[in-house]
Amino acid sequence: MPYVIAGGIELCIHYQTSPVLKVWLAIVAAPSKLSDGTGLHGELGGPSPSPDFPGIVGSPEGPRIAQNHSESPPARLERLQKTTPCRLLLTSQADEEDAMESRRLREALAESQAKEAAMEAQEVNLRQQLCSAQSQTCLLHELQQKLCEDGAQLQELERDKAELEEQLDEKLEAEQRLQQQLQEKLESERCLQQQLSDLQQATHDPESWLTPL
């Protein structure tokens, strides 16, 4: 609940779940809003008096502080700090801690975002690698199918080759038989020619036909 301290100091006390009480002091340059110590003008409305804090509107020191509203803000702040019995802690240290915590959270958030971006980039890279691997797998299947087809064609060619070799062997054997037959015919022809020659010689020399008595 906000309380208005004479001299333009607004005190906001916030209770959180922890037992630590955080106090914020903000200097408000509005001395003209102060009344004679009984409260603010009707524009904002005055809170209920607090007997625990001297100098708060409604306390016995209210009129005296309100009359000194022409003093400088640093002097007024120093006087208020001295006259406050609970020695309210200024927010400089708390603000610094909050700033450090906020900076730490921002750094943690930036680091988390950087890690997330890196993970997303890694995921994209992995997806690309997966697509590439799938493409290579499909290509490998195609190559394997092509290899099987080539293997079948190779076996067929080997069978054709075996048949051709067998036919070639048969042709070589037939050629050898033909050469042998030709050789036999040549021998027979030479024998016939020899007989013909002998016959012709006997025809020209009849005495060769005579045998001695």
For range 13-36, the mean pLDDT: 42
Q: Does residue 58 surpass a pLDDT of 50?
A: no
The pLDDT assigned to 41 comes to 40
Q: Where is average pLDDT lowest: 27-31, 97-101, 153-157?
A: 27-31
Please name the helix (run of DSSP H) or strand (run of DSSP E) that holds residue 99, with its range, or none. helix 91-204
Whole-prediction pTM: 0.33
Does the structure show a pLDDT above 50 at 195? yes
The domain spans of the chain are: 2-89, 91-171
Residue 156's pLDDT is 93
- What pLDDT digit, counting tens, does each position of 114-170 carry? 999 999 999 999 999 999 999 999 999 999 999 999 999 999 999 999 999 999 999
How many CB atoms sit inside 10 A of residue 66's CB?
Answer: 18
Q: How far is CA 114 from CA 101, 104, 107, 109, 110, in A?
A: 19, 15, 10, 8, 6
CA distance 163 to 169: 10
